[in-house]
A and B are shown apart, each in its own frame.
Chain A
Amino acid sequence: MERSNREYTVGAVEDFMPQIGRVVNAGEVELAIFRTSAGAFYAIKNHSPHPKGGPLAEGIVSGYYLYDPLHDWKIDLRTGEVQAPDQGQAEVYPAAVDGGVVKVTLPAAVARL
């Protein structure tokens, strides 16, 4: 059984429009990838931590915050933490730009899902 983390190349930098999320399926995991206006990339599981769920990719991005498109929860893209008055945690994964391509690392447990 594979034990190590798994790195996925999710696309070229220019495949992602600033402040507009994009859905990428990495293995079995549906990710929402965001490129902020400052050029940073974030990867988050495309599933809202709100009890009613729903996607995240279509939310409004402001700095490194994301406003959940269905419930308007404010989520910190760096940590996945939901901001007050709401509470919860979205799953975030490390994303990085490397030679013009965007890479996301999923921990072994998730990559094998």
Chain B
Amino acid sequence: MAAEREKLVLIGNGMAGVGTIEQILKLGGAYDITVFGSEPHPNYNRIMLSYVLEGSKTIEDIILNDLGWYEDNHITLHTGTTVTRIAEQNKLILTDNGLAVPYDKAIISTGSNSFILPVPGSTKDGVVGFRDIADCDAMLAAAKQYRTAAVIGGGLLGLEAAKGLVNLGMDVTVVHLLEDLMERQLDRTASSMLQAELTRQGVKFAMGKQTVELTGEERVTGLRFSDGSELPAEFVVMAVGIKPNVQLAKDSGITVNRGIVVDDYMQTSMTDVYSVGECTEHRGTCYGLVAPLFEQGMVLAKHLSGVQTPGYEGSVVATKLKISGVDVFSAGEFTETPEHTVISAKDEWKRTYKKILLKDNVIVGAVLFGDVTESANLQKLVKNSTEMTNEIYDEVMGTSCCGGGGAKKGMSVEAMADEEIVCGCNGVTKKAIVDAVTENGFTTVDEIKACTGATRSCGGCKPVVEQILQFVLGDSFQQSAKQGICSCTPLSRDEIVAEITAKGLKTTKEVMHVLDWKQAEGCSKCRPAVNYYLGMIYPDTHEDEKESRFVNERMSANIQKDGTYTVIPRMYGGVTTPEDLKRIADVSLKYDVKVVKVTGGQRLDLIGVKKEDVPKVWEELDMPSGYGYAKSLRTVKTCVGSQFCRFGTQDSMGMGAMLERKYERLDMPAKFKMAVNGCPRNCAESCTKDIGIVGNDGGWEVFIGGNGGIKPRIADAFCKVKTDEELVEVCSAVIQYYRETGNYLERTSEWVERMGLEHIQTVIMGSDDNRKELAARIDFALAQVSDPWKKMLDDKNTRTALFEQTQV
């Protein structure tokens, strides 16, 4: 067993404290660690509560370290436990539930509390602060039940709370004591632009109002102001400020001013007791943003791990409002005095504003509104007290005359702060990417992905990752360095397909063996791809490999994050019958389906079916599989069309249902969506489908390559045809050509751009023979398919192996 280690106790399971512990672990500090937190949750990202309120994140999403992390790092965690005293004499930490834990070193990181205005009525029901998960939950619940809300305080927190409540459908008024919003970060000009923008987004304002009383009986009904006027509100959020949480320190006899007083190494007046975070006062300042707290934590972590470090000297704070469409930024000094030299630019048409303050030609502060691309750069300039020069002026004011778009982009990557998050999904910083390139000699996005995780989830950050690569590598960056379909092989899709055909390879195993795969059985990228290519090349003889299918396809249902499944029956052309609906309802009730949801593709999701019930649900529905999970035709969306619509010139419902019946079940490189409209009004939204069809008086118009997903793309006009037969032939040829030339997982939107629209038009419309052959090949492949639900129900062994759970 390891030698006896010193005991480190962290009081407060928040961002600053746990950030410090993470650093200590990284530095290899040898401590037995115990953490106490008053909240019942593991460590979460408090900043993101604003996103939870706004609805773009869930509580689960913002957990920073789950319970497993504490376990893995051998940290003892006591949640729901409040520390009441530090007993210096016998070096014990005492808690409200009677624990007494010995320490050698202790860190107080108790954060702060919402400041609740001491006015009559502030303890009524329906009045909350905005600080933690409980507050956030209270707001989400209130929005379901009430309509009018008031947010007292027009600072960062108040505005984010207000916008969140507006998004939740409430009628929200922000009450602010002063005439300017965010007056501690913004000047008057930026503040009024901000108010105008938020008003446009639906927030109301009551400016210059001092709240003197909250009215109501048990529950709040409104606010009364010092001028005698009133504002009705069924729910009130107080966001007027925070108060460092110093009770514990006070009770333990530690020196406290506004916050817990510390020196440059975060040492309090009590030996071996340190303090970081919002509860701390350093050189007379208490900080209320995370960046300074992490800087404090870094110094403390080094100090506690025995690593030499200069002391903490205070931070320059910068603010950014997390409301979409409202970009504001401020750093350092922002109110101008006669000592300042002011550079400013206001553009009322583009609604942007930029102000930079100089003192003796040194950049001391900046405010940006509307366009915040220079924020990282300016923050750095302020932090380093940089002298203004002509070059810097041109750069930050965007007046530089040389350099086109490309150069400008490079600049912004260059100016990006090291710690700025590039990949939001996976929390990868610019520095992590730069390090991956310089330390490992990586030259491609894929290598960076494998090493850091960046670009792995939504892919939205890929352009920036590419820019960083380009910036770090300079000329040696080559966009199209040869790359295989995954890290198991250097071969491209086309090479693999060619080898399969030339050598007559029949199974993924054979392909990987003969073509010298690095990992003998491939990975989750290449196995499904090779399985698809084999099926496409040998439609009649290839035996589909269940073990090479992604879970959804293997199970023929969509897995949800909790391990339950979504079952989607077919509804050809989005049309159903009362009988089918009744059956769906009966089965849903019987198997306790959690949610029945109408999808974007015009059909019904039965969400939350237990794994072992899935086959029974299929059996009792007795409908074909809707392939909601598959890389094949999902749905053909239709409008009402000539059967009922007064504008309709073509029978879109009939055509849609026919096409869906024809192409269902066939594997494709990626999911595939179609739409059919009865007239050019386009009610079924053809422009975002892989194939979109629009009826007109004399026939049909075909569009291809549309997408409404991650990379939206409007479909290209492909051709016009006169008859239904021609329409079907064109669709068949397009789909088959895509099947034969598409990369696995490549949507038609990307495929059309890669192959070129004209090329596809030439292949399909340029030669009748070609088109007919493609159509014949797809018909041959279509003759081989069968409904997977039926097949699975008939195959008892597979069904048991996949769905049943045994108890032993």
Asked if residues B68 and A58 are in contact (CB atoms below 8 Å), the reply is no
Of the candidates A15, A54, A58, A62, the one whose C-beta lies within 8 Å of that of B554 is: A58
Asked if residues B807 and A58 are in contact (CB atoms below 8 Å), the reply is no
Asked if residues B68 and A62 are in contact (CB atoms below 8 Å), the reply is no
Asked if residues B450 and A20 are in contact (CB atoms below 8 Å), the reply is no
Chain A residues whose CB sits within 8 angstroms of the CB of B519 once the complex forms = 62-63, 65
Chain A residues whose CB sits within 8 angstroms of the CB of B69 once the complex forms = 51
Give A2-17 as 1s and 0s: 1 = Cβ < 8 Å from B's Cβ atoms.
0000001111000111
Asked if residues B562 and A86 are in contact (CB atoms below 8 Å), the reply is no
Chain A residues whose CB sits within 8 angstroms of the CB of B523 once the complex forms = 60, 62, 65, 67, 74
Chain B residues whose CB sits within 8 angstroms of the CB of A85 once the complex forms = 450-453
- Shortest distance between the CB of A98 and any CB in chain B (Å): 14
Whether A54 touches B807, Cβ cut-off 8 Å, given contacts A20-B801, A67-B523, is no
A70 to B66, CA, bound (A): 17
Asked if residues B527 and A62 are in contact (CB atoms below 8 Å), the reply is yes
Chain B residues whose CB sits within 8 angstroms of the CB of A70 once the complex forms = 551, 559, 561
Kindly report which residue of chain A lies nearest to residue B554, judged by CB atoms.
A58
A30 to B113, CA, bound (A): 41
* A55 within 8 Å of B (CB atoms): yes
Asked if residues A10 and B548 are in contact (CB atoms below 8 Å), the reply is no
A69 to B546, CA, bound (A): 14
Chain A residues whose CB sits within 8 angstroms of the CB of B802 once the complex forms = 20, 22
Asked if residues B563 and A55 are in contact (CB atoms below 8 Å), the reply is yes
Asked if residues B801 and A24 are in contact (CB atoms below 8 Å), the reply is no
Kindly report which residue of chain B lies nearest to residue A60, judged by CB atoms.
B524
Whether A60 touches B68, Cβ cut-off 8 Å, given contacts A20-B546, A69-B550, is no
Asked if residues A52 and B547 are in contact (CB atoms below 8 Å), the reply is no
A85 to B798, CA, bound (A): 34
- Shortest distance between the CB of A78 and any CB in chain B (Å): 15
Residues of chain A from 1 to 50 with CB closer than 8 A to chain B in the complex = 8-11, 15-20, 22-26, 30, 37, 49
A52 to B559, CA, bound (A): 14
* A88 within 8 Å of B (CB atoms): yes
Asked if residues A23 and B801 are in contact (CB atoms below 8 Å), the reply is no
Chain A residues whose CB sits within 8 angstroms of the CB of B611 once the complex forms = 23
Asked if residues A23 and B547 are in contact (CB atoms below 8 Å), the reply is no
Chain B residues whose CB sits within 8 angstroms of the CB of A8 once the complex forms = 808
- Shortest distance between the CB of B73 and any CB in chain A (Å): 11
Chain B residues whose CB sits within 8 angstroms of the CB of A65 once the complex forms = 519, 523
Interface size class of A (residues with CB under 8 A): 35 or more
* B805 within 8 Å of A (CB atoms): yes
* B706 within 8 Å of A (CB atoms): no
Asked if residues A20 and B808 are in contact (CB atoms below 8 Å), the reply is no
Asked if residues A59 and B808 are in contact (CB atoms below 8 Å), the reply is no
A20 to B523, CA, bound (A): 14
Whether A37 touches B521, Cβ cut-off 8 Å, given contacts A55-B563, A89-B72, is yes
Of the candidates A37, A58, A86, the one whose C-beta lies within 8 Å of that of B555 is: A58
Asked if residues A51 and B808 are in contact (CB atoms below 8 Å), the reply is no
* A61 within 8 Å of B (CB atoms): yes
Whether A20 touches B547, Cβ cut-off 8 Å, given contacts A52-B60, A62-B522, A67-B524, is yes
A89 to B397, CA, bound (A): 50
Chain B residues whose CB sits within 8 angstroms of the CB of A17 once the complex forms = 546-547, 798, 801
A101 to B234, CA, bound (A): 65
* B806 within 8 Å of A (CB atoms): yes
Kindly report which residue of chain A lies nearest to residue B521, judged by CB atoms.
A62
* A113 within 8 Å of B (CB atoms): no
- Shortest distance between the CB of B750 and any CB in chain A (Å): 20
Interface size class of B (residues with CB under 8 A): 35 or more
A15 to B806, CA, bound (A): 11
- Shortest distance between the CB of A23 and any CB in chain B (Å): 5
* B362 within 8 Å of A (CB atoms): no
Whether A63 touches B68, Cβ cut-off 8 Å, given contacts A25-B808, A54-B562, A70-B559, is no
Chain A residues whose CB sits within 8 angstroms of the CB of B451 once the complex forms = 84-85
A91 to B42, CA, bound (A): 21
Asked if residues B550 and A60 are in contact (CB atoms below 8 Å), the reply is yes
Asked if residues B806 and A24 are in contact (CB atoms below 8 Å), the reply is yes
Chain B residues whose CB sits within 8 angstroms of the CB of A10 once the complex forms = 806, 808
A23 to B453, CA, bound (A): 29
Chain A residues whose CB sits within 8 angstroms of the CB of B549 once the complex forms = 60
Whether A16 touches B524, Cβ cut-off 8 Å, given contacts A24-B808, A70-B559, is no
Whether A63 touches B521, Cβ cut-off 8 Å, given contacts A23-B805, A52-B561, A69-B559, is yes
Chain B residues whose CB sits within 8 angstroms of the CB of A58 once the complex forms = 551, 554-555, 559
A9 to B397, CA, bound (A): 72
* B196 within 8 Å of A (CB atoms): no
- Shortest distance between the CB of A22 and any CB in chain B (Å): 6
A60 to B68, CA, bound (A): 24
Give A64-75 as 1s and 0s: 1 = Cβ < 8 Å from B's Cβ atoms.
010101101010
A89 to B73, CA, bound (A): 11
* B520 within 8 Å of A (CB atoms): yes
Chain A residues whose CB sits within 8 angstroms of the CB of B546 once the complex forms = 17, 20
Give B757-801 as 1s and 0s: 1 = Cβ < 8 Å from A's Cβ atoms.
000000000000000000000000000000000000000001011
- Shortest distance between the CB of B585 and any CB in chain A (Å): 28
* B717 within 8 Å of A (CB atoms): no
A69 to B563, CA, bound (A): 10
Chain B residues whose CB sits within 8 angstroms of the CB of A15 once the complex forms = 800-801
Give B561-596 as 1s and 0s: 1 = Cβ < 8 Å from A's Cβ atoms.
111000000000000000000000000000000000
Whether A54 touches B801, Cβ cut-off 8 Å, given contacts A25-B808, A62-B519, A69-B550, is no
Of the candidates A11, A59, A60, the one whose C-beta lies within 8 Å of that of B806 is: A11
Give B504-522 as 1s and 0s: 1 = Cβ < 8 Å from A's Cβ atoms.
0000010000000001111
Give B48-78 as 1s and 0s: 1 = Cβ < 8 Å from A's Cβ atoms.
0000000000001001001011001000000
Most central of B63, B523, B524, B550 by chain A CB within 10 Å: B524
Asked if residues A51 and B801 are in contact (CB atoms below 8 Å), the reply is no
Chain B residues whose CB sits within 8 angstroms of the CB of A20 once the complex forms = 546-547, 554, 801-802
> Besides A8-B808, A16-B801, A58-B554, 19 other CB < 8 A contacts?
A11-B806, A20-B547, A25-B805, A25-B806, A30-B805, A37-B509, A51-B63, A51-B69, A52-B561, A55-B559, A58-B551, A58-B555, A60-B548, A61-B521, A61-B547, A62-B524, A65-B519, A65-B523, A88-B72
Return 24 A-B CB contacts under 8 Å, by A number. A10-B806, A11-B806, A15-B801, A17-B546, A20-B547, A20-B801, A23-B805, A23-B806, A51-B66, A52-B60, A54-B563, A55-B563, A58-B551, A60-B524, A62-B520, A62-B524, A63-B519, A65-B523, A69-B550, A69-B551, A70-B551, A70-B561, A84-B451, A85-B452
Residues of B within 8 A of A (CB): 60, 63, 66, 68-69, 72, 450-453, 456, 509, 519-524, 527-528, 546-551, 554-555, 559, 561-563, 611, 798, 800-802, 805-808
Residues of A within 8 A of B (CB): 8-11, 15-20, 22-26, 30, 37, 49, 51-55, 58-63, 65, 67, 69-70, 72, 74, 84-86, 88-89
- Nearest first, the 6 A-B pairs at minimum CB distance are A67-B524, A19-B547, A58-B551, A62-B521, A69-B551, A55-B563
